[in-house]
Homo-oligomer: A and B are copies of this chain.
Amino acid sequence: MKTDRPNPNRAFKDAAYVQLARIGKAVASPKRFELLDLLAQGPRTVEALAKEAGATVANASQHLQILRRAGLVETERHGLFITYRLADVSVAELLRHLQRLAENRLAELERIARDFLSRHGPMETVNFRELRQRLRNDGVTLIDVRPSEEFLAGHIPGAISIPLPQLRARLVEFPQDRQVIAYCRGPYCVLAVEAVEILQASGIRAARLAESVHDWRAERGTLVGGGVRR
């Protein structure tokens, strides 16, 4: 760790950088990153997080405590349940920053995403600019296919909530001649992809919003609903 040269400030620097690296360590595990990404959509219990992230409860609990010790999440007890939430909006910003950096710098990530999409037939994707335009012209229906709690915690103005499990049952609600745009948590969430497939299979024109709810907030401002609680 250190040479034997006489530098009296080494100890301070080492100690300081150990602390700075703690935040890095917190987001250095894929599971923890996924947990944070889920928490960015809204507060949740340990069990819900474990299930969505595909981990055991005990394992998720351990990761969550590492995140808590790093100051990235906070807890609150409600009866039997303990809800975790991001400690600060700047944590969600950090996640976005890391994602953007990974997308720009790691070819591997782009390849993985492309491979995944290629296994799911052709699919139109839409960006914010196009979405805004079409929303203004009233030419599309925007649906939020995340669980309804996440919709309530914050969603894009004009969207209607149709959690994916309910989509098949509610297909009759869509007029056949109007395009539907589905969105979910972001590029590493598969809900919108599945939604578009279901819609297309029943003859409805559908497209996927490539960005996430948080990108919307960062680039366009307001969400409707609670947002990320502090």
A16 and B109 form a contact (CB under 8 A): yes
Tell me the count of chain A residues lying within 8 A, CB to CB, of chain B: 59
B99 and A20 form a contact (CB under 8 A): yes
Binds B, one of A84-92, A122-130, A135-143, A166-174: A84-92
Partner of A112, one of B3, B12, B54: B12
Which residues of chain A from 81 to 128 have any CB-CB distance to chain B below 8 Å in the complex? Answer: 87-88, 90-91, 93-94, 97-102, 104-106, 108-109, 112-113, 116
B16 and A98 form a contact (CB under 8 A): no
Determine how many copies of this chain the complex contains.
2
Partner of A100, one of B90, B101, B102, B188: B90
Decide if the interface of chain A is mainly helix, strand, loop or mixed.
helix
Chain A interface residues (CB < 8 Å from chain B): 1-3, 5, 7, 9-10, 12-34, 37, 54-56, 70-72, 87-88, 90-91, 93-94, 97-102, 104-106, 108-109, 112-113, 116, 188, 190
